[in-house]
């Protein structure tokens, strides 16, 4: 069933009145692109983890109304939230990273500028990129059945991005120079019933500088290896997230 995301006000109305009114860009998608009509059913995800099944009762150019048929809790969100801090890569690789990491259940992505980041993004351009990346996140979230749209944060400087992470998170730093501690080893130290959340730091093409590796340590990020081969930046996040999901069966 086609999935759309609704905000808190729409979810409250759905619960109280048993109806939902969809406006904005989703209307064009539902009516003109998907050619859905009265009687067709939709799945509506609210940001609090609930999911409403609804049947369309009316369509116009700027409004789709639907009756709520049932409500349930979303069953596709992973138990362990992971925020990816991704060194901004060259070209359009970030788009691939976002799409795949959303499929693998990432909760949020923060694009990070590091010493070896090649791309220069003036503020206006960075905001344009962020808006495009957010759209890619939304499309991937719809396609793979997520209960939330993972947020793509503003492009942030390295140290600030690290400093802003909550104290209690398990902070992992994928480091190709780490020889002893693998991702599996580090997760095993937490155990499969781990109930916390994770931050995962991945460098851009050029990797991290020595001083950044030290700074990461200062903010509680522990280096982990993703294996004996050097992965490309766009492979590293996908590989690490797959490993995390595999370990937690999540």
Binding site for ligand SAH (CB under 6 A): 174-176, 202-203, 206-208, 225-227, 229-231, 233, 236
Shortest separation between residue 233's beta carbon and ligand SAH, angstroms: 4
Q: Is 170 helix (H, G, I), strand (E, B) or coil?
A: strand
**Number of helices (H), then strands (E), in the chain:** 8, 12
Task: Pick between residue 29 and residue 116 the one whose CB is nearest to ligand SAH.
Answer: 116
**Residue 205 CB, nearest distance to ligand SAH (Å)?**
6
CA distances from 132 to 45, 119, 146, 235, 244 (A): 21, 16, 19, 21, 27
Over its C-alpha atoms, the chain yields an Rg (Å, rounded) of: 20
Task: Return the number of the residue (4 or 208) whose C-beta is nearest ligand SAH.
Answer: 208
- Whether the CA torsion 84, 89, 93, 94 is positive or negative: it is positive
Closer of 45 and 233 to ligand SAH (Cβ): 233
The least distance separating ligand SAH from the CB of residue 201, rounded to whole angstroms, comes to: 7
Tokens found for residue 86: 């991704």
Please identify, using beta-carbon distances, which residue of 71 and 231 lies nearer to ligand SAH.
Answer: 231
Smallest gap, in angstroms, from Cβ of residue 209 to ligand SAH? 10
Rounded to 5°, angle at Cα 197 from 193 and 4: 105
């Amino acid at each position: 069933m086609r999935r759309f995301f609704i905000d808190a006000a729409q979810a409250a109305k759905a619960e109280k009145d048993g109806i939902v009114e969809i406006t904005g860009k989703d209307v064009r998608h539902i009516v003109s692109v998907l050619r859905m009509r009265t009687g067709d059913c939709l799945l509506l995800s609210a940001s609090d983890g609930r999911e409403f099944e609804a049947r369309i009762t009316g369509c116009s150019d700027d409004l789709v109304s639907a009756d709520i048929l049932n409500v349930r809790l979303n069953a596709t969100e992973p138990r362990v939230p992971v925020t990816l801090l991704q060194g901004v890569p060259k070209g359009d690789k970030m788009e691939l990273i976002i799409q795949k990491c959303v499929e693998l259940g990432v909760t949020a992505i923060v694009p990070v500028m590091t010493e070896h980041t090649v791309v220069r993004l003036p503020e206006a351009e960075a905001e344009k990129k962020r808006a495009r990346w957010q759209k890619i996140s939304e499309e991937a979230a719809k396609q793979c059945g997520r209960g939330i749209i993972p947020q793509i944060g503003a492009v942030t400087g390295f140290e600030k991005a690290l400093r802003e992470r909550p104290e209690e998170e398990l902070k992992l730093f994928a480091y190709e120079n780490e020889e002893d501690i693998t991702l599996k080893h580090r997760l095993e130290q937490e155990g499969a019933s781990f109930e916390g959340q994770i931050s995962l730091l991945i460098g851009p093409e050029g990797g991290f500088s020595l001083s950044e590796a030290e700074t990461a340590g200062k903010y509680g990020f522990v280096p982990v290896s993703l294996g004996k081969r050097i992965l490309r930046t766009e492979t590293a996040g996908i590989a690490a997230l797959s490993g995390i999901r595999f370990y937690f069966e999540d």
